[in-house]
Amino acid sequence: MARKTTRRTSYSRNSKPQKSIFAKAIRFIICTFFILLFFAAVYHYRDGLKYYLGFKSDKVLDEDAVDKHLSDVRNIRVLENHKGKVIGIDVSEFQGKVQWDEVEVLEEKYPVQFVFVRATAGNDRVDRQFKKNWEGAKEHKIIRGAYHYYRPNENSIEQANLFIKTVKLQKGDLPPVLDIERLPKNQPLDSLKKGLKRWLNKVEAHYQVRPIIYTGESYYDDFLKEEFGQYLFWIANYNFYREKIEDDWLFWQFTEKASLPGIKHRVDVNIYNGDLQQLQFITVE
């Protein structure tokens, strides 16, 4: 039986696969792009970074504090972009017990001049900190407003009645707010809109002032902007690229991660699209 012989194929060193020059060029371009993007972002937010890293203040930050504040670098830029407009916050039981005597200035520079307080949720839930927050804001001369968290799958009139029963507006308070963030699970969109209108009409008839609607920017654009155009809107948008309030927004909630003396947990910060005199003009008479 003849023995099979295996032929070995020899390769020269010059025949080894070479990386494509084109592929190298692409990688170089991509790496360069991201490096430039990084430095552009650092330059764009340089004021906030300097502030939080201590270059513009005498305070010394430990590692935890630096990590905590770096997420708020954008906040500084947004606040700087809105000098002359009124800054406020919104609170609920999720912020715990607020020490209202310490709630005065945000970032050691921006006075807190209004607050929205969660009052109710759905048809059966009163915020556990509502009474203390409502009274605390009044006592410390912060313009206050109350909001209701709307549950799409619960009766709208029952929700309105709970809010009316809980919130006693006084002269100088902001109009009531309807907070709508979710879509219904077991009903069409038209039914949701009818329910929202029933809540709004019931509350307006009681307080004799038109409510404000709070929602996210996408929800506003997709479902509410056209059909609820007669209402004023408080819009939430935390996106990094957005740094200025839109002309048709009454309030803009631009962050949910701010730190403020007197509040243990992170808090939402809002900008009113006007000055203090204009804010006082829309309060209850």
Please write the tens of the pLDDT for every residue from 206-223: 999 999 999 999 999 999
CATH of the domain at 131: 3.20.20.80
Name the average pLDDT for the chain.
85
Do 54 and 101 lie in a common domain?
Answer: no
Please write the tens of the pLDDT for every residue from 107-148: 889 999 999 999 999 999 999 999 999 999 999 999 999 999
Cβ-based neighbours of 178, under 8 Å, separated by 6 or more = 147, 148, 150, 196, 199, 200, 203, 211, 212, 213, 214
Nearest-angstrom CA–CA distance, 19 and 26: 12
Please write the tens of the pLDDT for every residue from 173-206: 999 999 999 999 888 999 999 999 999 999 999 9
Please write the tens of the pLDDT for every residue from 17-68: 555 777 777 777 787 776 766 655 555 544 444 433 333 333 333 434 433 4
Give the predicted TM-score (pTM) of the model: 0.78
Do 275 and 142 lie in a common domain?
Answer: yes
Does some domain include residue 16? Answer: no
Does some domain include residue 113? Answer: yes
Position 60 scores a pLDDT of: 37
Task: Kindly report the backbone phi and psi dihedral angles of residue 100, in degrees, each rounded to the nearest multiple of 5, phi listed first.
Answer: -65, -25
Residue 165 has pLDDT above 50, yes or no: yes
- How is residue 199 written in tokens? 């809540």
Do 108 and 187 lie in a common domain?
Answer: yes
Show the domain range for 174: 85-281
Q: Which residues belong to the active site?
A: 90, 181
Do 264 and 130 lie in a common domain?
Answer: yes
Structurally, the chain folds into a number of domains equal to: 2
Position 44 scores a pLDDT of: 52
Query: Which residue reads 């699970």 in tokens?
Result: 185
Pick from 71-75, 159-163, 227-231: least confident: 71-75
Does some domain include residue 2? Answer: no
